[in-house]
Amino acid sequence: MGEVSQKDDSSFGEQYGSTRNTESKRPRDIKFLQQTLPTYYPVLNAGFIFPLFFVTSIIFIPLGIGIYFYAENIQELSITYSNCRSTNVEHANATCEAVLDGVLYKTHRFPKTWHQHDEEEPRPPECQCRIDFELKTPMNGTVYIYYALTNFYQNHLRYYTNRDENQFKGGNLRKNEKDEEVAAEPSEYCKPERFRLDNWDRPILPCGLQANSMFFDVIKLSHWYNDEQDHFVPLLKTGIAWDSDKKKFNNPDKMDNPRDPVWSYFGKPPDWKKHIWELDSNRSNNGFENEDFIIWMKTAAFPNFRKLHRIVDSQPNNSYSDGLPAGKYSLHIEYQMQISTFNGTKSVILTNSRMVAGKNYFLAAAFSITGLILFILFVVFCAIHLFTKNRHVHFKRN
- Predicted local distance difference test score (pLDDT) of residue 263: 81
What is the helix (H) or strand (E) element at residue 64, kind and residue range?
A: helix 46-72
For residues 278 and 303, membership in a common domain is answered with yes
CB atoms within 10 A of CB 120: 11
Residues 158 and 196 in one domain: yes
Query: In what helix (H) or strand (E) does residue 70 lie, and over which residues does it extend?
Result: helix 46-72
Residue 340 to residues 18, 96, 98, 151, Cα–Cα distance (Å): 78, 11, 9, 11
- One domain, residues 263 and 129: yes
Residue 27 pLDDT: 82
CA gap 235, 94 in Å, rounded:
29
Task: Check whether residue 325 and residue 368 sit in a common domain.
Answer: no
Instruction: Check whether residue 318 and residue 385 sit in a common domain.
Output: no
pLDDT at residue 321, as a whole number:
86
Give the pairing type, strands 181-183 and 173-175: antiparallel
* pTM metric for this prediction: 0.75
256 and 367 inside one domain = no
Q: Is 124 buried (19+), middle (13-18) or exposed (0-12) by CB count in 10 A?
A: middle
Helices (H), 217-269: 243-246
Same domain, 124 and 263: yes
* Gap between the Cα atoms of 337 and 389, Å rounded: 69
187 and 302, same domain (yes or no): yes
Instruction: Give yes or no: residues 94 and 17 share one domain.
Output: no
pLDDT of residue 211: 93
Instruction: Tell me, yes or no, whether 35 and 139 share the same domain.
Output: no
Domain span holding position 392? 44-74+359-398
Cβ atoms within 10 Å, residue 249? 20
How far apart are alpha carbons 295 and 393 in whole angstroms? 66
Does 100 lie in the same domain as 62? no
Handedness of CA 299, 305, 309, 314 (dihedral sign): negative
Q: Do residues 295 and 240 make contact, with C-beta atoms less than 8 angstroms apart? A: yes
Q: Are the beta carbons of 135 and 372 closer than 8 angstroms?
A: no
- Give the count of domains, the chain: 3
- β-bridge mates for residue 219, sequence order: 333
- Where residue 258 falls (left for φ over 0; alpha for ψ -120 to 50; beta otherwise) is alpha
> CA 350 from chain center: how many Å?
17
Residues 106 and 54 in one domain: no
Q: What is the mean pLDDT of each run of 10 residues along the chain (398 residues)?
A: 47 48 74 84 78 92 90 89 87 84 48 38 73 92 93 92 90 77 84 76 89 94 78 92 92 79 84 89 90 95 94 84 90 92 92 68 91 93 81 54
pLDDT of residue 4: 46
